[in-house]
Amino acid sequence: MQQVTIERLGHKGDGIAAGPIFVPATLPGEVVEGVVENGIMAAPKIVTPSDDRVKAPCRHAKSCGGCQLQHASDAFASAWKTDVVARALEAQGLKTEIRACLTSPPGSRRRASFSAKRTKKGALAGFHRKGSDIVVETPDCQLVSPKIAASLPLVEELAVLGASRKGELSVLVTESLSGLDISVTGGKPVDSPLREALGALGRKYDLARITWDDEALTRLPPVQRFGVADVTPPPGAFLQATPQGEAALLASVREALGPVKHVADLFAGCGTFALPIAQDARVHAVEGDKAMTKALDLGWRNAQGLKHVTHEARDLFRNPLLPDELARFDGVVIDPPRAGAEAQVEQLARCQIPRIAFVSCNPVTFARDAARLVASGYALNWVQVVDQFRWSTHVELAAELEFKG
């Protein structure tokens, strides 16, 4: 047995003591003891708890790998995520106003990726146990919306219908305005009996759509609303995790842009930002996935009262918009994946677009990209921290960059 004091949290949420020794489910300042093997204290006993330690709200917290910070108070988690952003900026020599973290409430996640396996008695569905491929049942998950939580029996039926005895089914469940949108991978090939059974299951659970690998069975278009536009995303398309998080990011984007007239929305997805912005400005939406740009375009064409929205399917990593293409815009929204947008930011740095609204799910790559823009004459006016992934280590943000010359 060894006794240590937790000094800080690592980026995966584990406590770190001198050594380093990694200790899961601990908080800074706590004194813990246990057996250390290969630098890990896997089963710590809390000797002196932190004032920020709370009882986990979910009874599955010790076994389920979906959440990492349920043992921490909301105030601690928000402060820690804000500090993650601050340290990323500091590493690039950036200083700015960092606004208090906006955290989505429990039970607000509108999408979940469940794992399911067939068993001798039927099927088992839930999330993976921490650090393993074992599926843990989570019948009353506190993170997802009630409709998503209630879909586990459906997920189990899908496994019975189409999972092999040794394989694992991955079932992405998304809440839409017209019913649940289900996307299944890892199952057996679709044949006529399975297709018929899936149709019956869709009627039984009043589903909007079931997609099995690449084949979609649609009863009703699974609609997502962006501003005043109704959009039917392609199966598995990117979607902000919670309505509250999406609203916080959109409000920040609107503030960052100000009264612009013509906006380029880069990495636009299905129109999360482009379509609401089109209520006030013309928009050119650029996204690498053609199915997403098609969905965005249909949403715009069927909406009322929006200004002109054009779209372009383009790989912005390999083929970023160049300065002469960007010159016609007075505002840019950019929302890249975790890798950031180094190639596109390099081109933006060569322009003098008045305002950039930058959305990011990775503070480290954001800080790198923001530093390049600041070096070219932009001011980083503020950063808004947004926590859509409550009880996890995931951090998102939105920021305003203004060209000062």
pLDDT of residue 251: 98
pLDDT for the residue 66: 84
Rounded CA-CA distance 237/231 in Å is: 11
Report, as ranges of residue numbers, the positions in the chain whose pLDDT lies below 50: none
Strand 21-23 to 224-226 pairing = unpaired
Q: What confidence score (pLDDT) does residue 379 get?
A: 98
Report pLDDT for 131.
Answer: 77
* pLDDT for the residue numbered 120: 86
Q: How many residues does the chain have?
A: 405
**What count of other Cβ atoms lies within 10 Å of the Cβ of residue 320?**
20
Classify burial at 121, counting beta carbons within 10 Å of its beta carbon; exposed 0-12, middle 13-18, buried 19 or more. exposed
Strands 396-403 and 378-387: antiparallel
Q: pTM value?
A: 0.95
Known catalytic residues? Answer: 361
- Work out the number of other CB atoms within 10 angstroms of the CB of residue 228: 14
Angle at 19 between CA 74 and CA 88, to 5 degrees: 50
Q: Order across the sheet with 309-313: list the strands.
A: 97-103, 378-387, 396-403, 355-360, 331-334, 262-266, 282-287, 309-313
pLDDT, position 189: 92
Q: What is the pLDDT of residue 63?
A: 87
Which residues contact residue 388 at a Cβ distance below 8 angstroms, ignoring those fewer than 6 apart?
Answer: 104, 109, 240, 241, 242, 244, 245, 246, 394, 396
Quickly list H helices, 210-261. Answer: 243-257
Percentage helix, strand, coil for the chain under 3-state DSSP, each rounded to 5: 25, 30, 45
- 20: cis peptide before it, omega within 30°? yes
Query: What's the token pair of residue 1?
Result: 């047995």
Q: What tokens does 207 get?
A: 């589903």
> Residues 323, 351: contact at Cβ < 8 Å?
yes
Helix or strand (DSSP H, E) at 171:
strand 169-176
CA atoms 307, 308, 311, 317: torsion sign: negative
For residues 53 and 31, what is the distance between their CA atoms, to the nearest angstrom?
12
Cα(34)–Cα(44) distance, integer angstroms: 5
